[in-house]
Structure 1
C-alpha cells in the first residue's frame, strides 16, 4: 500500500509538471488554421462546414466574420451557445467548442470570404480566412445579338449569353473554333456576359460560341453571324480642277465608290436630285450654280448609303465680315489692320481717314504715327468686293486708371510667392514695366515676369523682405501710360464678422484682408469652453480656457469658416490670426457669441485678494481718523489761564520732549475753569483761587 500511494503521488507530480510545461508552451503562440481547404465550392441548398483547428492557448475568444460583418463572438468552452447575429441565424450554426462554421441549405448570396479570429490575453491575435463559392447547375444556355443586322463600319456589335439558371465560374468565347482574347477588335465583358466586336467588318462573318464552366457542370451555345458591307467612301473629282470658276466655264464632277452590289449614284444640288449618273456635266456655268454639290451612293440590298460634298466656287464672296484691329509698333507707332478672308476675288481694303492712296487685298495693314487726336477716335476700314461692300471699325485708346491685383501662395520649396498683376484696358494692348525702388525689375531668382509682362512674381522666405521695397507697374502703349504705386503690407485683417445659426450651435466666421496684404494662411482661434463632442451621446465637457487656442487652419485664399458643436448656453470668443508662412500678423477683432462674458478667473482672484486689503486699509484709515480726533480733543482740554512761572521753569529745565509727554500721560491736567462757565452773565465773576502743586522733576533713562 505505501508503494501504491507513493506511485500515485509521483504520477500526480509528473502530470502537474507536464501540464505546467504544456500550458507554458501553449502561451508561446496562438494558432488557427483551416482543417481542410480554404477555398470551398458548394451547390446552393447544400450543407457546408468550414472546419478549423487551433492550438496555443485554452479557451480563446473567437469571432467569425462574413467580409467585415460580425457573425458571432464567444469564448471556447463557455456554457452558452455562440450568439449568431440575427441576419445569419436562419442559415449558420457554430460549434462552441470546435469553432466550426456550418451552413444549412446555403443560398447563392452567401458567396463571400469568411474569417475566423482568435484572441487570448497576452498573445497576438490569430486568424484565417475561407473563400466560399456557391454555384447552381447551368441550364438552357442561349446566345443573342444586338443589333440583329450587322453592317460593316457600325459602332459595335454585341453577343450576349443568357441561361434559365446557374452560376458559372469561367466563360470562354470562340470564333470559328479559335478562342477570342481581349484586343483592339474584341472586348470580352465578363460581368455583362457579353462579347463586343468593335468596328465589325466583312471578315467578322462566321460562327461564334461561348463555353461556361463551374466546378459542377459545363455548357456551350453558338450562333452564326453575317456582316454586310458597302458602299465605301466616295471619291469626288472636278475636271478641270481649279480654285474657282468664272461665268461661262464648263466642267464635270465625277463620283465613284466600291461596294457589293455596286451602289447607285445620284447628284443633289439645292435639295434637288439633278442627275442619276456618276458623272455630272456642267456647261456655261453661272454664278448661281456655285455652291455645295452632294454625291449620294446607295446599296439597294443593305439600304446603306454614303454621301460626300464638293463646293463649286463661282465668284463667291469672302467668308463672314471684315475684322479690324490695331497694334503697337516699336512702342511708338500705331499699325491699323483690316482683314476679310476668302472670296473670289479678294476684297479691296483701305482706311480712308488715315490715307487716301494706300489699300490692300484681303489682308491690309497701315502704320501711322501715334498722336493725341487718334486717342479714342473710331477709324473705319472700307472693304469692297464685286459681290458686297462692307466695313469694320477700330478705336485706339491709351491705358486707363487701374487697380493692381495681388495673390499670395507658397511654392514647393517653402518660399512665399507674391503675384502682382497690373492690367489696364487699352488698344493696342498695353505693355507693363516693373520697378522696385526706382530700379527696373528683371527676371531672376527673386523676380519673374510673365511672358505678356502683366504679371510679376516675387519669391522669398521672409515676409519682411516684401515690405522693404516699393513696387511700381507702368502700363504703356503708343497713346500714353498709367503708373501705379504698390506698397505690400504684412499679414493683416481689415474686418471680421460672426454669424451664428438659429440654434447657436454653429457659427460662420468671416474676415476681410487688405488688397495688398501678404497672407498665406489663417489660424482660427477660440477662447472659452471646449467644443462639444461630435458624438451626441458622449458627456458634455465643462472645461474652459481664458487663453486663445488654435482650432482650425485655413489657406490664404479662405475668407470664411464654419465652427460646429457650440453650446448655446456658454460664451465663446473667436479671432483670426493672419500668417505669412511663419510670421503672424495682428489678430482680428475678437468676436463673441453666448449669453455673457461673466467674471474671469483672474478677476475673481483679484477680488478675493482685494477684500482683505480693503478691510485693512479701512482699519488703518479709521485709526488715523480716531488719532486725529483724539489729538484735537486733547488740545481743547488744555487750560487757557496763564501757566505759573514755577511750572514754566520746570518745563524749561526739561528739554526732553519725550519726558514732557510722559509727564502728561502720568499726571492729571489741571481743571479748565473756563468750561465751568454756565451763562454769559457770569464771565465777570472772579475765578476761584488755585495753588498749583510744587514742580516735579522727572528724569527719563533711555
Structure 2
C-alpha cells in the first residue's frame, strides 16, 4: 500500500472527529467546566479566581452560589452590570468568561461554590468549587485542659489555642515520636487525650499545626504526678545501737512526683526533719524508741507509712569545754566541764595538780604568777566510752593601739569614740582616766558595758583638745595602758593623680589616728572649669584664691574633680573640719603647664642654638683634618735608591722613628682611603723595614 493511500484512510477517520470538536458549540448542549483546580486554597487578604470555561451556547446566564445561596448573577456580554449581593460587592467580581474573582478575600469566604450557566433552548450546566481561605498561624499556646496529670486518673488532655490562623492539620508528638491513635491516645478537635496516664507518660508533648501557607510547632513539658511508693527507712551510720552524744541521720524516702514530704513522729510528737532526713545530733537515751515516717504527696495528698526502732545508749554529749576566768582580778580560775554520760567523765588538769579531779565539772583556782603567763593547760577527760581533752592558754594583755572615730549625732554634737581592746586570757578589764582622775560614766562621757569603749559628746571641738585620756587593760597576769591626746582636724598626708588627658583629678588624703574630723572641704585655686560662650568657643574665669568646690563626709579619703581644662594651672587642697571648725589645710597640689619663660630668654635660646650647632660642626671638621694629616704623614712610602746611579750611600747618624704595630711590623697602607688596590701601585712596597743604613764604598 502506498503512502498516499494510507494518508487518505487516516484522514477519513480523524477528520469527522476534529470537525465535531471544532463545531461542538454550534450543535451541542451548554457545558461549563473548571479551568483550574476544583479545590482552591488562598491566603486571607490575597486575590483569587475560580476559573471556568464554557461552550455549546453564546452569552449564557451565569449564577454563582455560595453554600447554596446566590451571590452573583449576570448574563455574559450583557450591557447590564452584574447583580452582586450588597454585602459582598467589595470582594466579589465576575469575569467576562464567567469566572468568579475575589479581591482581598477575607477568612469568612471559605465555602463551597457552585456556578450555574443556563441558555434558553440549549440547556443548563453546573459545576462546583471548594474555596478554603487560610491565615498565617501565629501565637500558638499549648496547655493542660483538665489540671495536672495524675497516675491512675481516668484521662488527661492537652489543648492548643491560636491567636490567629486557620489550621488544616494537627500532628501530635511525644518525645519526638508521632502519636498514633490507639487505646492510650486519641486526637480530638484541638486536643490530645491520654487515657489512664502513668509516670511513663512524663515528657515533652509537641503539636505541629499546618495549612498550605504556614506551619507552627509548639510544645509543653508534662509531668505525671505519682506516688509515694512504699517508704524505705535507712539509718546512717548503720549500727546496732548508738551512744548518747553520737550524731546520726535516718532517711525516709520513696519514689514519687513531686518528691513526697516526710513527717516523723516519735513518742506521739512530730520531729523536725529536712527533706525526709531526721538528723539526731548528740542523742540521749530518752531519744531511743519507735520512729514512724509518713510520706505525703503534696499534690495528690496520698500517704504511705513505715517505722523503725533506734537503740541509744549513753555517752557524754559534745566535747569537753575549757575556760579561764579572773577572780577579783587577782586569781586565775581554770574551769573544765563535760556534761552527761553514764558514768560521768573524770576531769583533771595534770599540769596544775596531780590530785584534784572532778566528775563532769572541775574548777581549780590559783594565784596569778609570771610562770602562768602564756602557759597552755590541758584538761584530760576520761570516760568509759570515749577519752577526750580540751586546752586553755592564759596570757597577759598584749600591746594595742587605741582606735578613734568621729561622728555627729542627731542633736549636732560631735561624738568621739575611743576603743581600747587588748588580746588577753582571761579577758582584760578596761578602765578610763582623764589626767589623774577616773572618767565617770555620765555626760558628756559614756562607757560601754564591756568597758572597752569611751564616748565623748560635745558641740565645741575645742573642748576635746588638750586632754589626755588613758585606757588601761588589766587582768591578773598584767596590764597595758595607752595615752590618747585628741587632736583638732588635720591632714597627715595627701596626694593627687590625674587621668591621661588632664581633665579629671583624684585627690586622696589621710588623717592622724587621733584627729577629730567630721568632714572635709575640697578647695581649688585657679580658673573655673571649662564652659562655652555664645560663639561656641571655650572660656574660663580666673579665681584669685582657694574656694570650696566639693564637701566630703568624715569617712571619705578621696575625691574626684571633673571638667578641668588641661591647658591651664590649678591648685588643690583639703580642709579638714570638725563640724564648723576648720583645721590646717593639706599640702597644696598643683597641676597644669609651667609658668613659662620670658620673651628675652626665649629669644636668647633661639639665637644660641644655631651658633652652637655651627661651632660643633667647625670643631668636628678641625679634628677630622688633624687626624687625616697625621695618618698621611705616618704612612708615606719610602723606596730604595738604585745602586747603578750612586757609588756610595751615606746614612744619617740619626734614624727616623719607625711606626710599628704591636707585633713589630709596620701597618699596611689604607687602600680603601687611597681608592687603590695593591696591583695598581707603580712600585711594590717593602714587606718589612730595612736594617739601619751604613756607609759603603764601592769600586767600579
TM-score (norm 1): 0.44
* Structure number, greater radius of gyration: 2
